[in-house]
DNA sequence: TTAGGGTTAG
């Protein structure tokens, strides 16, 4: 085989590998009468690019000759396929390292959150280039040390657009939107990565309009900026906008990836669109995108929120490499469905598998206790979380606890916890007390709490409505009128509550006192039947609202 | 042959 023939074959093997056609690449490689080191490197890379790291390792071991690129490729393969320790192993054994080897290992460690090791190697590097500095800026920012990242960024001997984008996104990730804007305005040549980071920043600030206007200004939109805009809509509660954008994106011929589908599935779960969620699930199976763990996690939540806990469990059972989020998602699903026993068994199962629970795991457990009125258990978990797992309770954990105590009628104890908590009492915690005051006719305490709430936020209607309900429950009608007057005077508006359900592609929307639905008679009689059923099972519905 | 933007859980 001529040197030129070998050269062309090598190129072809590389492009087949990148295109996901490992078998074709392998055939081409096997049929080559003569091969050089580049051919071996190309086929080695093709294997790990198609999730066959073991194949790459076998090739690496049987190679007649290895150069630095071979070592760099096997290291990259380990890092791409979640094997950072094996990457470190190869790195240690390498006879000759170049800047790319060092950069690969530093950025790889950053990717797996191993910041200290990354920094140690960055310091030990014999020579650094723009890539090394940018990787470290990214690492420091991800670690939450934005000031140090910024310091390194300012001291970098040379910057390019990638470095700027990394710094801007670091600011956005840590909520420093003002600084992100400042840098973006001074960035010499704005690339799409930086623009996308700004879109995300504006969305995180809640300013979707500004984000959308930047998005609209992008001439050549790539998949990632579409994804960023869609995710931004979803996080701000504009699921319909996200879905509209999804259709627009497909109309441009852009093919969705797993991140796109995550946004779509999350939008479907927020809107309760089971059919849309199922369609996306089917699409993910067809396109092999279901292999992505995060997408599976989103599907667990979607099915659970749409009432199909069995499907959530099915997805969970079939995930190959479950992460902490998968466990949290399924525990939350069981918690929302009132299945305390399953929550317990899942928790012990995850511990057996060596998965360490985090604050969100405990939030689900605490709220599961609340759903089935297990007061003692709730307090035990709360203490266990602090003592054994060293997790400091957040305001939300307190809210769970307070809510639970209130439902069980332990108002004094609930107030004690509220006073004890090291945070400004969140509206939700006091709201729970207020709701309990109405149930238990504690007018005095209710007044106290409501006044506190109204003082902190006079424009939200919740506290007024609750207080007036407390008065109404106690028959104090004069006070009811007074509170309603005060509410009007302070300009607090009550948001009308809507609920909706999707049946066979049609969404049916309802609001209070709304009788416009064509089947309203049937609906009301079904509601009556369910209400009767609930009473039979002693879920007493309090109708004094 | 190394660096950047989007991704899940309450």
Full DSSP string of A158-185 = ---HHHHHHHHHHHHHTT-HHHHHHHHH
**pLDDT reading at A544 higher than 50:** no
- Closest nucleotide to the alpha carbon of A49, via C1': B1
Report the SS3 class of residue A323: coil
Residue A387 in domain: no
Please tell me the least confidently modeled range out of A216-230, A297-311, A344-358, A404-418. A404-418
Q: CA-CA distance, A361 to A383, in Å (whole number)?
A: 14
Residue A38 in domain: no
| Chain center to CA of A538 | 37
Q: CA-CA distance, A463 to A484, in Å (whole number)?
A: 11
The alpha carbon dihedral of A118, A119, A123, A128 has a sign of: positive
Tokens of A496: 């009308």
**pLDDT reading at A229 higher than 90:** yes
In strand B, the nucleotides that come within 7 Å of a protein beta carbon are 1-10
Q: Mean pLDDT across chain A, nearest whole number?
A: 89
Tokens of A71: 């070592």
Please tell me the predicted confidence (pLDDT) of residue A135. Answer: 95
Q: What H or E segment, with its residue span, contains residue A408?
A: none
Residues 382-401, chain A, CB closer than 7 Å to nucleic strand B = 394, 396
The DSSP output letter for A501 is E
State the residue range of the domain holding A526.
501-536
Residue A526 in domain: yes
Is A162 near strand B, with its CB below 7 A from some atom of it?
A: yes
The DSSP output letter for A320 is S
Question: How many CB atoms sit inside 10 A of residue A313's CB?
Answer: 18
For A244-283, what is each residue's pLDDT tens digit? 999 999 999 999 999 999 999 999 999 999 999 999 999 9
Angle at CA A268, nearest 5°, toward A265 and A269? Answer: 90
Name residues whose C-beta falls within 8 Å of residue A218's C-beta, 6 or more positions apart in sequence: A192, A195, A225
Please tell me the least confidently modeled range out of A288-302, A379-393, A496-510. A496-510
- Closest nucleotide to the alpha carbon of A221, via C1': B5
**pLDDT reading at A541 higher than 50:** no
pLDDT band at A60 (very low <50, low <70, confident <90, very high): very high
Q: pTM of this prediction?
A: 0.84
Please tell me the predicted confidence (pLDDT) of residue A269. Answer: 94
Residue A509 · residue A498 · CB < 8 Å: yes
| Burial (CB count within 10 angstroms: exposed 0-12, middle 13-18, buried 19+), residue A506 | exposed
Torsion of CA A367, A371, A373, A376, to 10 degrees: -20
Residue A515 in domain: yes
Residue A132 · residue A106 · CB < 8 Å: yes
Q: Which residue has the higher pLDDT, A143 or A488?
A: A143
| Pairing of β A498-503 and β A506-511 | antiparallel
**pLDDT reading at A160 higher than 60:** yes
- Please name which of A222, A180, A220 lies closest in space to residue A203, comparing C-alpha atoms: A180
Report the SS3 class of residue A51: coil
Please tell me the predicted confidence (pLDDT) of residue A447. Answer: 83
Segment A310-317 shows an average pLDDT of 95
Is A364 near strand B, with its CB below 7 A from some atom of it?
A: yes
Gap from A258 CA to B7 C1', in Å?
Answer: 7
Beta bridge partners, A503, equal A506
Please tell me the predicted confidence (pLDDT) of residue A395. Answer: 82
- Please name which of A275, A271, A272, A299 lies closest in space to residue A285, comparing C-alpha atoms: A299
Residues 58-97, chain A, CB closer than 7 Å to nucleic strand B = 69, 72-73, 76
Percent of chain A with pLDDT over 90: 65
Percent of chain A with pLDDT over 70: 94
- Please name which of A100, A93, A40 lies closest in space to residue A76, comparing C-alpha atoms: A100
Q: Which residue has the higher pLDDT, A447 or A8?
A: A8
Please tell me the least confidently modeled range out of A70-74, A382-386, A455-459, A533-537. A533-537
Please tell me the predicted confidence (pLDDT) of residue A326. Answer: 95
Residue A266 · residue A298 · CB < 8 Å: yes
Domain count, chain A: 1
For A113-136, what is each residue's pLDDT tens digit? 999 999 999 999 999 999 999 999
- Closest nucleotide to the alpha carbon of A226, via C1': B6
Please tell me the predicted confidence (pLDDT) of residue A9. Answer: 95
Gap from A425 CA to B10 C1', in Å?
Answer: 18
Please tell me the predicted confidence (pLDDT) of residue A425. Answer: 62
Residue A505 in domain: yes
Residue A521 in domain: yes
Q: What radius of gyration, in Å, describes the C-alpha atoms of chain A?
A: 29
Gap from A215 CA to B2 C1', in Å?
Answer: 30
Tokens of A388: 């054994």
Gap from A448 CA to B8 C1', in Å?
Answer: 40
**pLDDT reading at A427 higher than 90:** no
Is A223 near strand B, with its CB below 7 A from some atom of it?
A: yes
**pLDDT reading at A233 higher than 70:** yes
**pLDDT reading at A534 higher than 70:** no
Q: Which residue has the higher pLDDT, A537 or A367?
A: A367
Q: Nearest residue to B1 (CA, C1')? A: A100
Q: CA-CA distance, A430 to A446, in Å (whole number)?
A: 10
Q: Which residue has the higher pLDDT, A159 or A545?
A: A159
| Chain center to CA of A231 | 10
pLDDT band at A495 (very low <50, low <70, confident <90, very high): low
Is A56 near strand B, with its CB below 7 A from some atom of it?
A: no
**pLDDT reading at A184 higher than 60:** yes
Residue A302 · residue A311 · CB < 8 Å: no
Residue A532 in domain: yes
CA distances to A165, A201, A203, A238, A544 from A173, in Å = 12, 8, 12, 21, 46
């Amino acid at each position: 085989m001529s040197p030129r023939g070998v050269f062309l074959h090598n190129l072809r093997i590389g492009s087949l590998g990148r295109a996901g056609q490992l078998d074709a690449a392998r055939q081409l490689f096997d049929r080559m009468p003569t091969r050089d080191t580049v051919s071996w490197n190309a086929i080695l890379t093709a294997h790990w690019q198609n999730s066959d790291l073991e194949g790459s390792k076998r090739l690496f071991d049987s190679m007649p000759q290895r150069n630095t690129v071979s070592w760099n490729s096997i290291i990259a393969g380990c890092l791409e396929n979640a094997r950072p320790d094996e990457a470190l192993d190869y790195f240690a054994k390498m006879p000759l390292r170049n800047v790319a080897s060092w950069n690969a290992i530093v950025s790889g460690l950053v990717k797996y959150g191993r910041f200290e090791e990354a920094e140690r190697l960055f310091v030990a590097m014999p020579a650094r280039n723009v890539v090394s500095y940018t990787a470290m800026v990214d690492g420091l920012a991800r670690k939450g040390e934005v000031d140090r990242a910024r310091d390194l960024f300012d001291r970098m001997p040379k910057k390019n657009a990638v470095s700027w984008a990394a710094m801007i996104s670091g600011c956005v990730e840590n909520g420093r939107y003002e600084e992100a804007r400042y840098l973006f305005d001074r960035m010499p040549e704005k690339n799409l990565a930086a623009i996308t980071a700004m879109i995300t920043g504006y969305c995180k600030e809640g300013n979707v309009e500004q984000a959308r206007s930047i998005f609209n200004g992008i001439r050549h939109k790539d998949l990632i900026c579409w994804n960023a805009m869609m995710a931004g809509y979803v996080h701000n509660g504009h699921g319909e906008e996200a879905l509209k954008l999804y259709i627009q994106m497909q109309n441009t011929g852009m093919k969705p990836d797993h991140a796109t589908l995550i946004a779509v599935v999350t939008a479907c779960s927020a809107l309760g669109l089971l059919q849309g969620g199922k369609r996306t699930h089917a699409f993910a199976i067809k396109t092999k995108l279901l292999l992505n763990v995060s997408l599976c996690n989103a599907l667990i939540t979607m099915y659970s929120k749409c009432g199909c806990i069995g499907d959530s469990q099915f997805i969970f059972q079939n995930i190959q490499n479950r992460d902490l989020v998968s466990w949290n998602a399924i525990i939350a699903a069981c918690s929302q469905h009132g299945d305390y026993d399953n929550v317990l068994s899942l928790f012990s199962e995850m511990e057996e598998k060596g998965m360490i629970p985090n604050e969100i795991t405990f939030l689900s457990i605490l709220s599961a206790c609340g759903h089935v009125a297990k007061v003692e258990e709730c307090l035990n978990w709360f203490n266990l979380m602090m003592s054994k797992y060293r997790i400091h309770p957040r305001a939300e954990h307190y809210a769970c606890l307070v809510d639970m105590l209130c439902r069980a009628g332990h108002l004094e104890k609930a107030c004690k916890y509220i006073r004890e908590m090291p945070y400004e009492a969140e509206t939700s915690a006091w709201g729970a007390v207020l709701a309990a005051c109405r149930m238990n006719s504690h007018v005095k305490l209710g007044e106290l709490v409501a006044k506190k709430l109204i003082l902190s936020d006079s424009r939200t209607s919740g506290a007024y409505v609750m207080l007036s309900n407390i008065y109404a429950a106690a028959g104090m009608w004069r006070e009811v009128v007074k509170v309603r007057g005060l509410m009007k005077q302070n300009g607090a508006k009550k948001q009308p509550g809507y609920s909706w359900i999707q049946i066979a592609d049609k969404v049916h929307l309802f609001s209070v006192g709304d009788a416009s639905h064509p089947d309203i008679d049937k609906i009301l009689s079904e509601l009556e039947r369910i209400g009767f059923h609930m009473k039979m099972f002693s879920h007493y519905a309090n109708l004094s609202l």
